[in-house]
């Protein structure tokens, strides 16, 4: 480590080795990383500590998703002969209160309570702005030659005429509802829209899910198509390939007019939930004045070292528009802190980044899709294995899903793995490690996997490149 931190220790003039703007997962990761290296750090927060994930994203959504999943699985118990089950959401307010308690406890334990453990991190509250020689926040000037911006994102409303006048819910408001509507339109076919549509239909709400292209447009087409079918089987009206015309209030709620195959169609519901994307929190930071470049959507442009266009200023997390997952925000922020203090030697690498959508069945992926692999110049081979070939799924009497592997024909190296399965999220890390280690489909096919597990499907999918697994005995190969 360079001597920057020894010479730049905090003094009476509020001079720091590093100023981190944003007190969410990325901000805390950067601050803790720098503090562990002996740096004097100023951490600037504005509003509720903890950022998106713990407060309004991952934690609250997954708590409600799991609750309604339990309801669904109880109702689906009859798939086993001689078993009956039933469940319902009897008290939504109690469920939301329990979710809020979890959020509060995790925010306290994983954020607020951590600050006293790091004597060299000074927390400042206030709206931050870049100024010459540092950051101004809460009426104080925090001097530093190194700054990391990690201010995150917020839900964005799409430019649909009338949207501002219909009291649309965003994901934050939807997760805080204390009373459920009878019906809901969910706008957006990405992971947030898919997850929340399923959560609310399992809470006995009539749900229509609408989107412009296809469900989960970044996923393999086979997976998006299959998941759309599973959502429809649960009672969701799934409508893709459309354009939004306008939305308006009605006596009973809202009416959304869409155009599909050249024909206008109006969808009515009590509430409308918008899940079409997020906008970076960059207002008031003085980025343009400081010479920090942004994309057309406002995200901060960074290179593979997390550097912005302004020397000494770095950015990490969702505000960069890159890989909007909490673990990638923390990873990028740790990288930014180390580079800021030690000379920019570390590169951001997302080549083996696992991604999960917490629908049921879950969607999990890592590496390249088939289209991405072809675009990268690979001579591509793929295998697609339906879950009715996986013993775990047969024993669970739940064969919803598939596994798709993408490989290079010549080297046989595994390039991507894509899983749609009830327990897919807990299986993807095996594929992530395989890609990180440069393993081939033969390595995967010949590895020893435990029987009657979902992850065994990766072995079977690897064998499918060259064999008909229907002709193999249990655990053969």
CA distance 224 to 228: 6
Q: Has domain 163-276 been given CATH number 3.50.50.60?
A: yes
> How confident is residue 7, by pLDDT bands cut at 50, 70 and 90?
very low
pLDDT for residue 344: 95
% of the chain surpassing 70 pLDDT: 97
pLDDT for residue 267: 98
| pLDDT digits 0-9 by tens, 437-467 | 999 999 999 999 999 999 999 999 999 999 9
Residue 347 has pLDDT above 70, yes or no: yes
Residue 6 has pLDDT above 60, yes or no: no
> How confident is residue 4, by pLDDT bands cut at 50, 70 and 90?
very low
Q: Report CA-CA distances (Å) from 215 to 15, 140, 385, 416.
A: 49, 47, 20, 20
Where exactly does CATH 3.50.50.60 map onto the chain? 4-50+111-155+279-342, 163-276
CA distance 440 to 443: 5
> How confident is residue 476, by pLDDT bands cut at 50, 70 and 90?
low
Find the mean pLDDT for residues 51-58.
94
Q: In three state form, how does the secondary structure of 424-440 look?
A: HHHCHHHHHHHHHCCCE
pLDDT for residue 477: 59
CA distance 95 to 103: 13
Q: Which of 161, 154, 137, 135 minimizes the C-alpha distance to 146?
A: 135
Residue 473 has pLDDT above 90, yes or no: no
CA distance 339 to 315: 11
Q: Which of 256, 284, 286, 287 minimizes the C-alpha distance to 270?
A: 256
Question: Radius of gyration of the chain from Cα atoms?
Answer: 24
CA distance 420 to 411: 26
For the whole prediction, is pTM greater than 0.85?
yes
Find the mean pLDDT for residues 254-259.
98
CATH for 4-50+111-155+279-342 (3.50.50.60, 3.30.2020.30, 3.20.20.70, 3.40.470.10): 3.50.50.60
Find the mean pLDDT for residues 285-308.
98
pLDDT for residue 278: 95
pLDDT for residue 5: 36
pLDDT for residue 13: 57
% of the chain surpassing 90 pLDDT: 95
Using a 10 angstrom Cβ sphere, with 0-12 exposed, 13-18 middle and 19 or more buried, the burial of residue 24 is: buried
Task: Give the mean pLDDT of the chain.
Answer: 95
Between helix 191-201 and helix 58-75 the angle, nearest 10°, is: 40
Find the mean pLDDT for residues 51-67.
96
Token pair belonging to 6: 């020894």
pLDDT for residue 472: 85
Residue 3 has pLDDT above 50, yes or no: no
| pLDDT digits 0-9 by tens, 111-156 | 999 999 999 999 999 999 999 999 999 999 999 999 999 999 999 9
Residue 185, φ and ψ in degrees, nearest 5:
-100, 125
Between helix 221-233 and helix 191-201 the angle, nearest 10°, is: 20
Residue 1 has pLDDT above 80, yes or no: no
pLDDT for residue 14: 81
The third-level CATH classification (topology) of the domain covering 355-467 is Enolase-like; domain 1 (3.30.390)
pLDDT for residue 474: 81
């Amino acid at each position: 480590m360079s001597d920057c931190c020894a010479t730049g220790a905090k003094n009476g003039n509020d001079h720091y080795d590093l100023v981190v703007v944003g007190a969410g997962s990325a901000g805390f990761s950067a601050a803790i990383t720098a503090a562990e290296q002996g740096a004097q750090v100023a951490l600037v927060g504005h509003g509720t500590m903890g950022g998106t994930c713990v407060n309004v994203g991952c934690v609250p959504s997954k708590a409600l998703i799991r609750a309604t999943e339990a309801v669904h699985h109880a109702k689906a118990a009859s798939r086993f002969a001689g078993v009956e089950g039933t469940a319902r959401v009897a008290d939504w307010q109690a469920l939301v209160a329990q979710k809020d308690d979890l959020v509060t406890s995790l925010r306290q334990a994983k954020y607020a309570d951590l600050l006293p453990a790091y004597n060299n991190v000074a927390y400042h509250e206030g709206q931050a702005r870049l100024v010459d020689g540092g950051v101004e926040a809460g009426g104080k000037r925090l001097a530093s030659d190194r700054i990391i911006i990690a201010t995150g994102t917020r839900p964005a409303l799409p430019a649909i005429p009338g949207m501002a006048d219909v009291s649309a819910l965003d994901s934050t408001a939807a997760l805080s509802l204390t009373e459920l509507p009878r019906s809901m339109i969910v706008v957006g076919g990405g992971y947030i829209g898919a997850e929340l549509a399923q959560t609310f239909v399992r809470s006995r709400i009539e749900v229509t899910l609408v989107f412009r292209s296809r469900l989960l447009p970044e996923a393999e087409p086979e997976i998006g198509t299959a998941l759309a079918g599973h959502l429809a089987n649960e009672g969701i009206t799934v409508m893709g390939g459309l354009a939004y015309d306008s939305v308006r209030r009605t006596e009973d709620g809202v009416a959304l007019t869409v155009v599909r195959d050249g024909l206008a169609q109006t969808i009515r519901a009590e509430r409308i939930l918008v899940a079409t994307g997020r906008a970076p929190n960059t207002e008031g930071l003085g980025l343009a004045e400081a010479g920090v470049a942004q994309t057309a959507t406002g995200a901060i442009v960074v290179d593979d070292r997390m550097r912005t266009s302004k020397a000494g200023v770095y950015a990490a997390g969702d505000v960069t528009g890159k890989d909007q997952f909490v673990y990638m925000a923390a990873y990028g922020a740790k990288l930014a802190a180390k580079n800021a203090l030690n000379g920019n030697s570390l590169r951001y690498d997302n080549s083996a980044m696992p991604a999960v959508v917490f629908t049921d069945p879950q969607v999990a992926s890592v590496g390249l899709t088939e289209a991405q692999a072809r675009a990268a110049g690979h001579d591509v081979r793929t295998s697609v294995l339906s879950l009715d070939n996986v013993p775990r799924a047969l024993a669970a009497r739940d064969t919803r899903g598939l596994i798709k592997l993408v490989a290079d024909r010549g080297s046989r190296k595994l390039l991507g793995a894509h899983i749609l399965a009830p327990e897919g999220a807990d299986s993807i890390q095996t594929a992530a490690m395989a890609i990180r280690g440069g393993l081939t489909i033969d390595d995967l096919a010949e590895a020893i996997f435990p029987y009657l597990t979902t992850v065994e499907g990766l072995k079977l999918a690897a064998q499918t490149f060259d064999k008909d697994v229907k002709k193999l005995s249990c655990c053969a190969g």
